[in-house]
Amino acid sequence: MSATANSSGSAPFAPGKSIVIVGMPGAGKSSIGRKLAVRLGVPFFDSDAEIETAAGMSVKQIFERFGEDEFRKGERRVIARLLGQPPHVLATGGGAFMEKETRDLIRTRAVSIWLHADVEILLERATRRNDRPLLQGGDLRELMMGLLTKREPIYAEADLKI
Ligand code: S3P
């Protein structure tokens, strides 16, 4: 595994800041985030899990009942609340970093890591789950490629890519 700093070349290390992991669904944000938090001896949070607890329903149900826009609003609120807490590791849902407001917040309050994974790995993992609304109702490869094309330039704004 290799890490590269983003194109600004700025030093991403920032003691006292949280670490926010961004990237595509299936990249491994939660499992890596959890391990990183243990290593660092800080709490771990998962934005999707926090949204589900706050809403009392699953991400899939939120999308079905209220739509993506409402989900994004909830996601923004949850991430803002978490980033107001002492340093921790936060794994975000794949679309969170696409929201400018959320991205700005992450930029000011945390060090962001883009966890990058090969598309074939993402696809293989995606076939094991059917609870991701944006990867339902069409050809999985096409849906995934569509998201990747839109999102990779934005993920690339993260402080580090691993
Ligand atoms: C989403 C990814 C999901 C979840 C929601 C939307 C996305 O999280 O937040 O289904 O927009 O890519 P994971 O990246 O943890 O699967």
Residue range 65-119, pLDDT digits in tens: 999 999 999 999 999 999 999 999 999 999 999 999 999 999 999 999 999 999 9
Nearest ligand 1 atom to alpha carbon 23:
14
d(CA 37, CA 44): 6
Gap from CA of 154 to ligand 1 centroid (Å)? 15
pTM of the entire structure?
0.92
Ligand 1 contacts CB of residue 33 (under 6 A): no
Residue 55 near residue 74 (C-beta atoms within 8 A): yes
Gap from CA of 96 to ligand 1 centroid (Å)? 8
d(CA 30, CA 99): 20
Residue 157 near residue 100 (C-beta atoms within 8 A): no
